[in-house]
């Protein structure tokens, strides 16, 4: 099984896709893999926040289990 990585807003634009599937690992390693596949993500990821299975994730060293979803959320402009 694997991890689903979903991209929103500017992260989606940088990746060019809505989501990808990667092998489970630490959140940081998964994000590094995503940036290697979609190089423009490297410019967006440092500004993003993350949800792991719909819960805010601040420690990117955490292991992401098979079947989990990692959401990549860039800062949103407010009005």
Instruction: Print pLDDT tens along the chain (79 aa).
Output: 799 999 999 999 999 999 999 999 999 999 999 999 999 999 999 999 999 999 999 999 999 999 999 999 998 765 4
Q: Is 52 helix (H, G, I), strand (E, B) or coil?
A: strand
Spans of all domains in the chain: 3-73
Q: Cα–Cα–Cα angle for 48, 15, 63, nearest 5°? A: 55
Q: What's the pLDDT score for residue 62?
A: 97
Q: Which CATH architecture has domain 3-73?
A: Roll (3.10)
pTM: 0.93
């Amino acid at each position: 099984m694997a991890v689903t990585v979903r991209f929103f807003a500017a992260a989606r634009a940088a990746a060019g896709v809505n989501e990808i599937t990667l092998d489970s690992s630490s959140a940081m390693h998964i994000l590094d893999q995503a940036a290697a596949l979609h190089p423009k993500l490297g410019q967006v990821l440092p500004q993003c926040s993350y949800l792991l299975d719909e819960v805010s994730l601040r420690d990117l060293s955490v292991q992401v289990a098979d079947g989990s979803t990692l959401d990549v959320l860039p800062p949103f402009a407010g009005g």
